[in-house]
Structure 1
Amino acid sequence: MRRTPLFSGIIYLILGILFVYIAIQSLQQNGEWGFMTNLLIIIATFDIGAGLKMISFHFKLKNLENKK
């Protein structure tokens, strides 16, 4: 089964939101910005960035296909 950039982008966005949620929960439990909280935020940043990039790539591909 072939995955489109849109599907992959949505999965990355969902994972990024999940990592942000887990980081917030960790921060509320510990009350401080520990190593795990920072690591989760960094991973979430990369996932959200990759998701947005994949979604924009999907729309650029669709735009190129429509011009042909």
Structure 2
Amino acid sequence: MRISSLMMAIIYFIMGIAFIFMAIRSADDTVWNTITILLAVVATFDFIVGFRLISSHFSGKKKK
């Protein structure tokens, strides 16, 4: 069974939300610590991949 790009996008969005949640929880006194910035960068990567998967899903449907 093959997973559609829309389902993969949803998975990436859920992972992005989870990384944002972990980044918020790890910010104790200041936001400018290494772990918080690293978690925010990973969440940004997840959201970008999710948006690209959604756009490829809908552009693939238009071509058919």
Q: Please indicate, yes or no, whether the TM-score normalized by the shorter chain is above 0.5.
A: yes
Percent identical across equivalent pairs? 43
Structure with greater proportional helix content: 1
Match of 1:6 in 2: 6
Correspondence 1:29-48 to 2 at 5 A: 30-32=28-30, 33-48=32-47
Q: What's 2:15 paired with?
A: 15
Flag the structure with larger Rg: 1
Q: How many residues align?
A: 63
Consecutive unaligned residues in structure 2, runs of 5 or more: none
CA distance in structure 1 between the aligned counterparts of 2:39 and 2:45, rounded to whole angstroms: 10
Structure-1-length-normalised TM-score: 0.87
Provide Cα deviations, 1:6-38, integer angstroms capped at 9, x if missing partner: 0111100110011011101111xx212211101
TM-score after normalising by structure 2:
0.92
**Aligned equivalents of 1:63 and 1:50: distance in 2?**
20
Cα RMSD after superposing both structures: 0.8
| Unaligned ranges ≥5, structure 1 | none
